[in-house]
A and B are shown apart, each in its own frame.
Chain A
């Protein structure tokens, strides 16, 4: 697949998603908005895990940092959505820089555990400073702060367009990144870090750069979630929200740009389907994931890349 075709494919997916969001009824359009925000989170996670091999269990911290980074100024000082989104992105990136600068001194399972500990400490801090953060109850983001150029993000169409815009920007940047020289550095670090070092790459620095980028993606996703759906809460800092982006990426295809959105949509509708069938829906979701991992170990797009489109990024 040439570069032109790759870009055409991804832009076509974006156009299809835009059309779907505008044509679907309100309920499904809102679902799609939520999926796109979570897919942005997965895009960021995939850069770290899928492309660079950094198996993190701390991404809930970056997501929640973005959520609180946007939500707190909106709640306490009435900031509007634009500046709040930027502070959310900055909060995600900053925490990734701080946590990464220490956690990247480890590797493999140790890296996973250190990132998990950072995330747990962050989640408990949110409870400890409850006067500011609203504790485990969280808080509703004021409607007056959920405005972009006078458009209320609480309405279906502006909410969907904002979610699509965030995802589209994230997708384009991620695609450009993985197709660039730096993208090849990321893959080299994943495949053989020592060989990459021999080629003159500084693994620590490059991995820290990837983790910060990944943190910014997660922060943007968390900020967007707070501003589009009007709630900020500490449950989003729990380990569940470190595992979810991993599941999105594994289901959609680790190391594929479009894998995150397929995975996020898959998990969302799998949950919807299972809850309609039984009260033991978590069992059903888990069973379905086990089956998928057994028969599609590389995820949906991983299988497509292995069988159909070898150059699919």
Chain B
């Protein structure tokens, strides 16, 4: 009789162990070997005014990282996302940048949405010489107000959104436009760029009504809307938007009303079929990425929705009342794939290569549609540090957003004097 032990196994046990080893090595999940993980810091609006966006930005980024890791990571390295709450506050935002660049040991930082947090954090990112990729939509990047370490490769900016949509608005809704906007930076981007865009189409802005940010009722502003207004262009944001829409409905009642055109920023994470929003029926909205799945959506769109856990109506698959911030959150997905491309082409291996990484990002031009960019093709302008892409116009039909038009990429393009590549690092 032969005795066996851990150190003297039987032939049968040896074969079983070898077989199990072979099976394990054939399994699809990656074993990351000796390569250190790639740490990406995410400046997250987990609390504060941006929390509804932050929740979905986190989910989208986690899903993108999982998809990238399942396909072998970035340059063979596992992607780890280090989330840090900035409370949607610029002071805390700067502190978060320092923390992610310092003790957290991140290779680069991404994900910031709110403009004031970007403005407050960008100087520190520049001083710490760490790439800072924002998903903000503001014109502050392309305007040249920031520094060489700040880029916006995953979402278009307000200026191009406006200039791309103005032709459709003039042609389909009307040429005499009254603008109602919040009297702070987001509203000012619209105030400053829309008049020229509509004038180029033979239209005109006949009134601009700025609403102070502390306002909770809008009845005293609504009589300022000129009677000959053909299009009411509204970009109210925040909790007051529900009151705004309700009071607008009461103001016009069942009588004649101008066509309404707005930005979905007002109603991100809000169900457009909510009670009180009935007045929006038949109105149009800009969407960066269509909340309700378009009829002609392809496999990439379907796969993206499944990955981020969003159903065909733009709600969480686990809770139909949890409406996503679908028009914006794709920017996190596409920014992460932009990082992947830049790291793999630059040969980035450690923070010492950060300058090389930014130069590689600046050299990227074509960002074709595909699994990496379910929202559509984009081009990246390395001088402006800004991506340019298509825009969508959707109509509220039965409380649901239905895409009625998609602009061309060329309609989004504009030129200015910004050239970050002329700045030193």
A→B interface (CB under 8 Å) = 25-27, 30-31, 34, 124, 127-128, 130, 134-141, 143, 154-155, 229-231, 233-236, 271-272, 275, 279, 281-282
Contacts and interface: CB of A to CB of B under 8 A. Distances in A.
A235 B116 contact: yes
Interface string B294-334: 00000000000000000000000000000000000000000
24 contacts: A27-B103, A124-B213, A127-B212, A134-B185, A135-B184, A136-B115, A137-B119, A137-B185, A138-B90, A140-B119, A140-B123, A140-B145, A140-B147, A141-B123, A143-B126, A154-B123, A229-B94, A230-B123, A231-B94, A233-B116, A233-B120, A235-B116, A279-B47, A279-B85
B145 A229 contact: no
B379 interface: no
A138 B119 contact: yes
Contacts of A139: 119, 145
Interface string B181-211: 0011100100000000000000000000000
Given A127-B184, A282-B47, A236 B119 contact: no
Interface string B7-43: 0000000000000000000000000000000000000
A229 B124 contact: yes
Contacts of B116: 136-138, 233-235
A246 to B, nearest CB: 17
Given A26-B102, A235-B91, A140 B84 contact: no
Interface string B89-103: 111101100110011
Contacts of B138: 137
B228 interface: no
Given A137-B138, A235-B116, A128 B122 contact: no
Q: Which 5 A-B pairs have the closest CB atoms?
A: A230-B123, A27-B102, A137-B185, A136-B184, A231-B120
B212 A124 contact: yes
Interface string B114-149: 011001101110110000000000101000011100
Contacts of A141: 123
A135 B126 CA distance: 22
Interface residues of B, number: 36
B416 interface: no
B381 to A, nearest CB: 21
Contact of B85 (A30, A128, A275): A275
Contacts of B212: 124, 127-128
B234 interface: no
A27 B100 CA distance: 10
Contacts of B274: none
A122 to B, nearest CB: 13
A75 to B, nearest CB: 10
A228 B136 CA distance: 25
B47 A137 contact: no
A39 to B, nearest CB: 15
A275 B84 contact: yes
A27 B98 contact: yes
Contacts of B172: none
Contacts of A124: 212-214
A261 to B, nearest CB: 18
Nearest to B123: A230
B209 to A, nearest CB: 15
Nearest to A26: B102
Interface in B347-406: none
B176 interface: no
Contacts of A30: 98
Given A124-B212, A130-B188, A27 B119 contact: no
B46 interface: yes
A182 B251 CA distance: 61
Contacts of B120: 138, 231, 233, 235
Contacts of B103: 27
A127 B119 CA distance: 15
B213 A127 contact: yes
Nearest to B103: A27
Interface string B46-71: 11000000000000000000000000
